[in-house]
Amino acid sequence: MTNLFFYGTLRFAPLLELVLGRSTDDLRAEHAVLSDYAVRTVEGQPFPMIVEEPGAVAQGLLVRDLGEEDLARLAYYESGFDYDLIPRNVEPDGRPAEPALVFFPEPGAWVPGSPWSLEDWISEWGEMTLLAAGEVMGYYGKVGPDRIAGSFPAIRRRAWARLAARQRRAGAAHDTCKDVIVHRHTRAYVDYFGMEELELQHRQFDGTMGPVLHRSALMQGSAVVVLPYDPKRDRVLLVEQFRAPVFLIDDPEPWMWEPVAGMIDPGETPEQAAYREAEEEAHIRLSGLEYAGGAYSSSGSSTEYVHLFIGLGDLTRTISNGGLASEGEDIRSQILSYEAFMDLVDQHGFKDLPLLTLAHWLARHRDRLRE
């Protein structure tokens, strides 16, 4: 049996229960501290790290007598954070120091920031982290920790998108608690995307429950699509890049002309993601955004929800080195006059649906934007 000292997010009881797969009521746990260490935020990440800091005291939770299955589940979850267990002496309340294992980050893996607060973290990131951990631990025993570690950023984006989806009400009369029965829910695949399968029944329009159906969905985060438009010069900017799905369906032209687009990161609003993607993909700084609506991109097969924008700005130059090399992006841009752009739309010269949607929205609102 092994003792562990938790200083960060695993002090949050619902998360610890989810990772261990059992109630915290079954644990021998008490408050403890680790002297000469401090808990800090991690720059750009929704979790903390512990750093050596003479005179500081790291507050935490000492959990005793964890078994092999507990340690295996903890190691699986922590594989996405580049943390390893290191022995240290911790001090339970009112008693001498005793040895315990502590999750320390790999040297140089993360950059420490300001002092970390469990209460602030729960308020900002707790719900999203529970959703992400639920997906991670759903693959325990099915998928290796290396794949889970590589999938962690995408899993967090999906969790952030799920939180947004829960607020997406349009006044429909159906109640999923009463009108949908799930018989089986399986997580079938995880990587940059996830794939989940269901066996379910849903209430039909005649009031009866329908037959048991087998359905699957490509699990994705939410995205932004931005068509840059210069109202003064009356021109638009498009980006071109290689699209593997288009290649896989045997389309001979998998290099696609599209608007700027990208996934919404955890903690971002759609607007923040739109400005960021315009700079990353097209190297342009937009002066404003016009919201053209949001919708599911393919509700029969994918969870992706797309926020559509017209991005206003001065369009004076094109590039051939857009995108992030870390994401394998190779993007170039072109600028078209509005008339030339709409001629190509009418001639069916584009194959990207969000681009066509934004073209028609721009046609309706162009005069207002130019005033």
Q: Does 82 fall in a domain? A: yes
Mean pLDDT over 322-331 rounds to 86
Is there a contact between 220 and 158 (Cβ–Cβ < 8 Å)? yes
Q: Does 259 fall in a domain? A: yes
pLDDT in tens, 200-250: 999 999 999 999 999 999 999 999 999 999 999 999 999 999 999 999 999
Nearest Cα neighbor of 19 from 34, 31, 6 is 6
User: Given this model, what pLDDT does residue 197 score?
Assistant: 96
Q: Does 155 fall in a domain? A: no
Mean pLDDT over 58-82 rounds to 92
Q: Tell me the C-alpha distance between 66 and 297, whole Å.
A: 45
Is there a contact between 216 and 198 (Cβ–Cβ < 8 Å)? yes
Q: Does 68 fall in a domain? A: yes
Q: Which residue is it, tokens 């934004």?
A: 358
For residue 43, give its domain range. Answer: 2-126
Query: In this structure, are 215 and 253 located in the same domain?
Result: no
User: Given this model, what pLDDT does residue 220 score?
Assistant: 95
Mean pLDDT over 308-319 rounds to 96
Query: In this structure, are 350 and 235 located in the same domain?
Result: yes
329 pLDDT band, cuts 50/70/90, is confident
Q: Tell me what the pLDDT averaged over the chain comes to.
A: 94
Query: In this structure, are 215 and 274 located in the same domain?
Result: no
Query: In this structure, are 26 and 107 located in the same domain?
Result: yes
| Distance from the Cα of residue 110 to its chain's centroid | 19
Is the pLDDT at 360 greater than 90? The verdict is: yes
Query: In this structure, are 246 and 115 located in the same domain?
Result: no
User: Given this model, what pLDDT does residue 106 score?
Assistant: 86
Query: In this structure, are 293 and 209 located in the same domain?
Result: no
Phi, psi for 169 (deg, rounded to 5) = -110, 140
DSSP symbol at 8: S
Identify the CATH number of the domain in which residue 321 sits: 3.90.79.10
Phi, psi for 182 (deg, rounded to 5) = -100, 120
Whether this prediction's pTM lies above 0.85 is answered by yes
Query: How many C-alpha atoms does 31 have within 13 Å on its Cβ side?
Result: 5
Q: Does 149 fall in a domain? A: no
- The vertex-91 CA angle with 113 and 99, nearest 5°, equals 95
User: Given this model, what pLDDT does residue 327 score?
Assistant: 81
Q: Does 151 fall in a domain? A: no
| Residue type (1 letter), 343 | D
Q: Does 293 fall in a domain? A: yes
Query: In this structure, are 9 and 79 located in the same domain?
Result: yes
**In the chain, how many domains are there?**
3
Query: In this structure, are 206 and 233 located in the same domain?
Result: no
Share of the chain above pLDDT 70, in %: 100
Q: Which residue is it, tokens 């693959």?
A: 139
Is the pLDDT at 174 greater than 90? The verdict is: no
Query: In this structure, are 239 and 365 located in the same domain?
Result: yes
Query: In this structure, are 12 and 110 located in the same domain?
Result: yes
Is there a contact between 73 and 137 (Cβ–Cβ < 8 Å)? yes
Nearest Cα neighbor of 58 from 22, 27, 42, 34 is 34
Share of the chain above pLDDT 90, in %: 86
Q: Does 135 fall in a domain? A: no
Query: In this structure, are 265 and 205 located in the same domain?
Result: no
User: What is the DSSP pairing of strand 112-115 with strand 98-105?
Assistant: unpaired
User: Given this model, what pLDDT does residue 96 score?
Assistant: 87
Query: In this structure, are 18 and 36 located in the same domain?
Result: yes
171 pLDDT band, cuts 50/70/90, is confident
